[in-house]
Amino acid sequence: MSSGIRRSARGSMLLLGRRAATPVFVALLTLGGLGTVQAQDASPSASPAGAACVTAASATGASPEASPATDVLATPVSDQAVIDTATTTLETYYSCLSDTSTRGSYEALVVTMVSTLDDGSLLVDHQVQLGNQIWASRATLVDQDGTWMVVSQVAIAPTTDLDLVTLSAKVSGGLVEVGRPSADAGEAIMIHGVNGESTDQTFVLLAVPEAFDPATMTTYDPAALPEGVTIVGELPLAAGAEGDALFEGLKPGNFAMFAVGADGTLATGAVFALTEPVKLDVPSIFDTPEATPDASPAA
């Protein structure tokens, strides 16, 4: 895979530079790891940037997931040199992960906030794209002997400026349900997941053939999926938690949502379709000269 990472045209600079002197509270979550049965390289994981980025955590598919939050006092950074260092560190980190990814390269890095903690470490809110999925994370960076390292990541809510279509998915009692059987394939799709189980679950979104029956898939091995089935993305959630997965540029087609437990148990999935948006041809009232308002002064 390519080791280069492309910064998004949307920018990667901090927008809150003038607030550098104002402390803010941010929610610092803990990092949860996923088992090898799940999509091994589908999400950013906690490991050092640079050549050693693939540690035991990332090799087994550790993914950011929501867990009880602790308020941490952090101060937004205005120093452009610090912001550039944080951005470069993440670029190196994701380039390294791309080298071992089986699903393509991480691209379109957008850094939205850089903050510093009392111990000198940095919190970097950012988004990065893998395939069609936009991952939003808060990375903790520490300076180890002059080298900045990514030591942990936690999931935060993804955002988009594109027109958004929202879907819902819930897993409970070993069964996945989606909110509706079809939706328009908009510029962006946000799937709101609810884990109604008492154990951690990872929602897995798959592109499937038209006649796909989710009941025929009783185990999940991302390296040995049924013919015509491909991984689109995932959403790891702790027991009882909710969260959002953001996708951009999904084409119309058929999809299935499954949920995989930490022990590899696969909940029965549900299928839905993304359809071509209906475009209404509404004639303009200004189409004919007769309908055009007279711009001349009234008599």
Question: pLDDT digit string (tens) for 11-59?
Answer: 333 332 222 323 333 333 322 232 323 333 345 543 333 334 633 223 2
Distance separating alpha carbons of residues 290 and 292, to the nearest angstrom: 6
In angstroms, the Cα distances linking 98 to 44, 111, 202, 229 are: 10, 18, 22, 22
| The amino acid at 266 | L
Reported as a single tens digit per residue, the pLDDT across 165-222 is 999 999 999 999 999 999 999 899 999 999 999 999 999 999 999 999 999 999 999 9
Residue 1: inside a domain: no
Last residue of a domain, one of 129, 155, 181: 155
55 and 135 share a domain? yes
123 and 51 share a domain? yes
Residue 5: inside a domain: no
31 and 105 share a domain? yes
205 and 143 share a domain? no
Give the model's confidence band at 284: pLDDT under 50 very low, under 70 low, under 90 confident, else very high.
Answer: low
109 and 180 share a domain? no
- Taking 80 as the threshold, does the pLDDT of residue 294 lie above it? no
125 and 142 share a domain? yes
Summarize the confidence of residues 237-257 as an average pLDDT. Answer: 96
Nearest C-alpha neighbor of 212 from the set 245, 253, 178? 253
Please give the pLDDT value at position 111.
96
- What lies within 8 Å, CB to CB, of 51 at 6+ separation is 96
pTM given for the model: 0.74
113 and 223 share a domain? no
Residue 215: inside a domain: yes
Nearest C-alpha neighbor of 207 from the set 108, 131, 100, 101? 131
* Helix H or strand E encompassing 180: none
Lowest-confidence range among 80-84, 249-253, 288-292?
A: 288-292
Summarize the confidence of residues 242-258 as an average pLDDT. Answer: 96
Residue 58: inside a domain: yes
Summarize the confidence of residues 82-107 as an average pLDDT. Answer: 91
What is the pLDDT of the chain when averaged over all its residues?
78
Distance separating alpha carbons of residues 262 and 267, to the nearest angstrom: 12
118 and 188 share a domain? no
Residue listed under structure tokens 């990872």:
202
Give the model's confidence band at 129: pLDDT under 50 very low, under 70 low, under 90 confident, else very high.
Answer: very high
Which residue range forms the structural domain that includes residue 120? 17-155
Please give the pLDDT value at position 26.
34
118 and 197 share a domain? no
Last residue of a domain, one of 121, 155, 189: 155
The better pLDDT of the pair 67, 284 is held by 284
Residue 298: inside a domain: no
Distance separating alpha carbons of residues 92 and 267, to the nearest angstrom: 36
135 and 174 share a domain? no
Residue 254: inside a domain: yes
78 and 116 share a domain? yes
Dihedral of the alpha carbons of 92, 94, 100, 102, in degrees to the nearest 10? -150
The better pLDDT of the pair 23, 247 is held by 247
140 and 88 share a domain? yes
Last residue of a domain, one of 136, 155, 174: 155
Reported as a single tens digit per residue, the pLDDT across 50-90 is 334 633 223 223 344 434 334 568 899 999 999 999 999 99
What would the 3-class secondary structure string for 60-128 be? CCCECCCCCCEEEEEEECCCHHHHHHHHHHHHHHHHHHHHHCCCCCEEEEEEEEEEECCCCCEEEEEEE
Residue 12: inside a domain: no
Nearest C-alpha neighbor of 95 from the set 165, 3, 180, 177? 3
Residue 96: inside a domain: yes
Q: Which two tokens stand for residue 189?
A: 């799709």
- Say how many domains are in the chain: 2
Cβ 166 vs Cβ 180: under 8 Å:
no
CATH number, domain at 202? 2.60.40.420
